[in-house]
Chain A
């Protein structure tokens, strides 16, 4: 069975600073995918970044990068140059194979507050 762990319930960062949100996972699958989503106060879940287990390079999308350490089973999200609009809940998720497709198993999330 898969398990996603986000140990930081809340984080603070000052505007323009970088911040790392932790995510560790446990799986017996050889092939897997890891995702990060942002959930602002409006509630919608916004896809940020994806990392495949066989990808040799760390994924990057604009100010978001994923620090993937396979041996340590960690997939931390790094947000560079934080902005006030980055204040939100952040969820780490892992792809779980189901009949004819995939579902996502989510961690409990980290609340990020960016301060001026």
Chain B
């Protein structure tokens, strides 16, 4: 069966510090991968998606970036965090036939 992992689970970082969040998927090959952000009390906002190794599409221009160095690994990064980067970050993979997505446990990021 497929599983999706994210780490760290929680993170507190100062403004201006770098960021690296990691997501890995097991039990599937060549998945579509996604990064979403959820601000407190809000819905999910799609940040990046990837259809294959090295292929990244950005939905929202910002100081974040994403990379996919391996088929089942998706990384979200920033060189300098802003206060507005605080939120709950969710990674997901999808089934192409119908499009439902399966989410990881999320990373709660607080930027101080």
Contact = CB atoms under 8 A, between A and B. Distances in A.
Contact of B98 (A44, A46, A52, A108): A52
B112 to A, nearest CB: 20
Contacts of B52: 100
Contacts of B104: 44
Helix, strand, loop or mixed for chain A's interface?
A: strand
Categorize the interface residue count of chain A. Answer: 20 to 34
Interface stretch (A11-19, A74-82, A91-99): A91-99
Categorize the interface residue count of chain B. Answer: 20 to 34
Given A47-B100, A98-B49, A91 B94 contact: no
Which of B42, B44, B46, B88 has the largest number of chain A CB atoms within 10 A? B44
Contacts of B57: 98-99
Interface in B89-112: 90, 92, 94, 96, 98-106, 108
B65 to A, nearest CB: 18
Which of A35, A37, A45 has the largest number of chain B CB atoms within 10 A? A45
B51 A102 contact: no
Contact of A50 (B98, B103, B106, B108): B98
